[in-house]
Structure 1
Amino acid sequence: MTSADETPVRVGVFGLLGSGNLGNDGSLEAVLGYLRAEHPEAVVDALCGGPEVVATRYGIPARRLHWNRGEYRTASRAGAIATKGLGKLVDAVRTAAWVRRHNVVIVPGMGVLEATLPLRPWGFPYALFLLCASGRLLRTRVALVGVGAAAIGNRPTRVLVRWSARLAAYRSYRDAQSRDAMRAMGVDTARDEVHPDLAFALPTPRASAPSGPPGLVCVGVMDFHGGNDDRARAEEIHRRYLDGTIRFVRALVEDGRPVRLLTGDKCDAPVVAAILDTVDSPLVTAAEAASLADLMKETAAADTVVAIRYHNLICALKVGTPTLALSYAAKSDALMAQMGLAAYCHPAREVDADRLLEQFRALEQRSPELRQTLTERNLAAAQRLEHQFTALTAALFPAADHAHALREAP
């Protein structure tokens, strides 16, 4: 606890939060839950992508991550290019000034050390580098908590990510492959730990009993065009993914199965519209989820889930629903293996509707067994996340950790 003559610890949270990605916001929600439970005296605010959303939804003050509101729009005219360049300088000053006001800054989860989706080095990787460099210079502890990482081919992006990780005071990862990737990029990971994704710390809604035949199938979709190294064939990848998904949904409808389409980011809306227009069946509906809690409720009501977005998968697995992953990155394969469903991954870049249907039917045949497996794996994940938050307190709030130890002593 903070005594009357002590200044409350100031904690900042940083990232593309409140920008429409439900997974990122779910990671923030998990960290805020930890802070409010274990460090209620902390004064928390955010530097983030969607400050209005974060302030309204989570009740903390928030500032915009980038000075230039068009940071993630392609600049072609001279004026727009000049504005972007000026924004980089302004952001360096703004970030340092914000970091200076804090004792601790937490980057909650998210794939901040990867480029498995299209990413420009001077966007978020540069912003993360400014944060970590400012923290080192100003002696503010920056923690990358439960983050994702992957090998990066683009040299500028790789350099910025590597130095961001090196400059952070604390690092933990959401899977072993992320830690291995950072080690391969030259980061000393000897003291870094691996824990389940932060979303596993969120409350789990009461699961529904499996519906009678024909049971509901949730299909998570994504505006998928491949990754950073796929730009030359991005449209081909998108077309193949969309065509395969439409064929799969149509086959489910022909079997009389109701289908519920799920998203994880506001940019996925065109894919939902394309499926609804093409399949054109009352059996196909779209959910309007505003949080991971909403997604968990949707997936808990389903017999089976087929999804591509990482946090759609987490939501389904967390509520114990048998799930098939359209995998676009190693993180999805690692998650499915961790939860005992390694055999039920299908490549998102090469969607084969016939093969996907075979895997789907095989998954449903093992549904009771897999539900039991997921119950056991979820319990283990929750226990491991308790250790994550204990380690975080010890690393970032040593005085609070010492006080807690004294209270617990006999």
Structure 2
Amino acid sequence: MTAARVGVFGLLGSGNLGNDGSLEAVLGYLRAAHPEASVDALCGGPEAVTARYRIPATRLHWYRGEYRTASRAGSIAGKGLGKVVDAFRTAAWVRRHDVVIVPGMGVLEATLPLRPWGFPYALFLLCASGRLFGTRVALVGVGAAPIENRPTRTLVRWSARLAAYRSYRDTLSRDAMREMGVDTARDEVYPDLAFALPAPAAGGPRDAEGAPEGPGAVCVGVMAFHGGNADRARAEEIHARYLEGTTRFVRALAADGRPVRLVTGDGVDREVVDAILDAVRSPLVTAADATSLADLMTEMAAADTVVATRYHNLVCALKAGTPTLALSYAAKSDALMAGMGLGAYCHPAREVDADRLLAQFRSLEARSAELRRTLTERNATAARRLADQFTALTEALLPPPATAHAHAPHTDTTHALRETS
């Protein structure tokens, strides 16, 4: 009797709390349903993953300067050589596993700046290696969106086609892959994996509706937002407008006597926090030092209201049951908010209008009690759906220990692909 060898893959341990939250949800499922499984990772930050989650981890890229801009001949050559070396490294790692899980994340989208030779190439190597060696690759609860750049779109499409199992975090993602030529007839949609994480305990005294008593704190999730791939020419203009509008909004809240707690979702967001603190200079405005989605949920559970930009900041707030307003930068945020009953409370991140944002914020707060009840109901539904997701994963991908290393053909799995081109 031998245990299944399971790998997890992605930009994990690299500072993005949303990515790490998806990993944590999948590890929780594996440890509960398949405690005998041997689990390790191929990821962006192996040291952080090993320290936090206690699993062996290997660096995703051979060239350590992969995500630095290459301007000199040496760095360009290093990146080029790294692409060749990574093809062999990825194949060798995949071959050692029965199943590789890509946990959540927006791995099939380009809503933020993205180069085809970066993560899209790495994902393609993973899925192609899986098909070559008979290792099942599962894209679990992932995000997808239409991609304009042709090389990126090609790599993403073939990665999806070569995977043995696909599920998505919203209907928009499944529709986007179908539009890109992937047969999605057997692919399912489930809530974001982060909804499977434990809900935080409410902090401080609460009223009958579960809202904090006393002056209502507002949690504001900020982002180093510069637009997406199509916005590169005006990235600085977009960022300046976002920062100005968000700063004006925070200043207005502080002027009303509202405590404001600034939070982030990635290490790169700290520059925005510092800029707002420097501009507002109020003792009512403070910054949290969250290092996990659990930390973020705790901050948001203690708040009266949340206004946030990053997708997984929104997930944390909604999971915590706190009325939330989205500074939306992509259709995925709008879809998430609509699915949780707050579709009316989205504001464009590219054009933050502080006055209009304040009006939406006051409307949200006027319906706080009603929206808290809605979120309680929607969270219960999300938990049931994610239990279904994990059951489907077990049935499709994780055989009994006695047959774990048989490497059954992909056509035998529940979500096998039938495309040949």
TM interval, shorter chain, is: over 0.9
Contact 1:393–1:401 (Cα < 8 Å) also in 2: no
Task: Classify the secondary structure of the residue corresponding to 2:24.
Answer: helix
Task: Classify the secondary structure of the residue corresponding to 1:326.
Answer: strand
Question: Corresponding residue for 1:159?
Answer: 154
Task: Classify the secondary structure of the residue corresponding to 1:8.
Answer: coil
The residue correspondences of 1:219-234 to structure 2 (distance < 5 A) are: 219-234=220-235
Name which of 10, 13, 17 aligns with 1:15: 10
Task: Classify the secondary structure of the residue corresponding to 2:40.
Answer: strand
> How far 1:207 moved relative to its partner?
2.1
Contact 2:327–2:346 (Cα < 8 Å) also in 1: yes
Question: Corresponding residue for 1:145?
Answer: 140
Q: How many residues align?
A: 398
Contact 2:13–2:46 (Cα < 8 Å) also in 1: yes
Q: Distance in 2 between matches of 1:340 and 1:262?
A: 23
Q: Which moved more, 1:75-84 or 1:370-379?
A: 75-84
Question: Corresponding residue for 2:165?
Answer: 170
> How far 1:397 moved relative to its partner?
1.3
> How far 1:48 moved relative to its partner?
0.2
Contact 2:170–2:189 (Cα < 8 Å) also in 1: yes
Q: Distance in 2 between matches of 1:126 and 1:392?
A: 25
The residue correspondences of 1:210-359 to structure 2 (distance < 5 A) are: 210-359=211-360
Q: Distance in 1 between matches of 2:149 and 2:263?
A: 31
Q: Distance in 1 between matches of 2:353 and 2:401?
A: 53
Structure 1 position 57 matched with structure 2 position 52: yes
Question: Corresponding residue for 2:174?
Answer: 179
Q: Which amino acid aligns with 2:376?
A: T
Contact 2:4–2:401 (Cα < 8 Å) also in 1: no
Name which of 34, 39, 59 aligns with 2:29: 34
> How far 1:402 moved relative to its partner?
11
Contact 2:2–2:402 (Cα < 8 Å) also in 1: no
Going from structure 1 to structure 2, the CA distance change for 1:397 and 1:224 (only over 3 Å counts) comes to same
Name which of 82, 89, 93 aligns with 2:84: 89
User: TM-score scaled by structure 2?
Assistant: 0.93
The two structures, once aligned, show a CA RMSD in angstroms of 1.2
Unaligned runs of 5+ in 1: 1-5, 404-410
Contact 2:3–2:401 (Cα < 8 Å) also in 1: no
Q: Which amino acid aligns with 1:56?
A: A
Task: Classify the secondary structure of the residue corresponding to 1:295.
Answer: helix
Going from structure 1 to structure 2, the CA distance change for 1:274 and 1:401 (only over 3 Å counts) comes to farther
Question: Corresponding residue for 1:406?
Answer: none
Q: Which amino acid aligns with 1:99?
A: V
Q: Which amino acid aligns with 1:270?
A: E
Percent of matched pairs sharing the same residue: 81
Q: Which amino acid aligns with 2:324?
A: T
Q: Distance in 2 between matches of 1:393 and 1:141?
A: 12
Q: Distance in 2 between matches of 1:34 and 1:216?
A: 34
> How far 1:7 moved relative to its partner?
1.9
Task: Classify the secondary structure of the residue corresponding to 1:398.
Answer: coil
Q: Distance in 2 between matches of 1:255 and 1:282?
A: 13
Question: Corresponding residue for 2:114?
Answer: 119
Contact 2:90–2:125 (Cα < 8 Å) also in 1: yes
Q: Which amino acid aligns with 1:89?
A: V
User: TM-score scaled by structure 1?
Assistant: 0.96
Q: Distance in 1 between matches of 2:138 and 2:104?
A: 10
Q: Which amino acid aligns with 1:235?
A: E
Question: Corresponding residue for 2:384?
Answer: 383
Task: Classify the secondary structure of the residue corresponding to 2:107.
Answer: coil
Contact 1:249–1:259 (Cα < 8 Å) also in 2: yes
Unaligned runs of 5+ in 2: 405-421
Q: Distance in 2 between matches of 1:401 and 1:128?
A: 30
Higher relative contact order (CA closer than 8 Å, sequence separation 6+): 2
Deviations 1:105-147 (A, max 9, x none): 0000000000000001100000000000000000000000000
Name which of 168, 184, 191 aligns with 1:189: 184
Q: Distance in 2 between matches of 1:120 and 1:148?
A: 17
Contact 2:3–2:402 (Cα < 8 Å) also in 1: no
> How far 1:214 moved relative to its partner?
2.3
Name which of 97, 101, 107 aligns with 1:106: 101
Contact 1:394–1:401 (Cα < 8 Å) also in 2: no
